[in-house]
Amino acid sequence: MQADTDKTLRLLKTARGQIDGIIKMVESDRYCIDISTQLMATQSILGRINADVLKAHIEHCVRTAVESGSDQEKDEKLAEVERIIDKLTK
């Protein structure tokens, strides 16, 4: 993976810590809006991580396939990007 591994791991660990905190909030019957706020914050971090990983994939894997790959490899990489965009927009 060409994404910044240290940054990705740090953000994933932050999200994990937030999820652990959310679990405790639910277990202690905290106010719903507070739980929702923390859920949205966690989703935001996960979205940033995903964007970074996808950007790295496009900059490295897709670019390599387009520059030096076979037509089949180019088509496969572009199809991957199309599938992930479809998933992101659902």
Spatial distance between the Cα atoms of 4 and 2, rounded to a whole number of angstroms: 6
When pLDDT is cut at 50, 70 and 90, the band that residue 54 belongs to is: very high
What pTM value is reported for the model?
0.83
End-to-end CA distance of the chain: 26
The predicted structure's pLDDT at residue 17: 98
What is the tally of helices (H) and strands (E) in the chain? 4, 0
**Residue-level length of the chain:** 90
pLDDT digit string, tens, across residues 9-38: 999 999 999 999 999 999 999 999 999 999
CA neighbours closer than 13 Å in the CB half-sphere of residue 63: 8
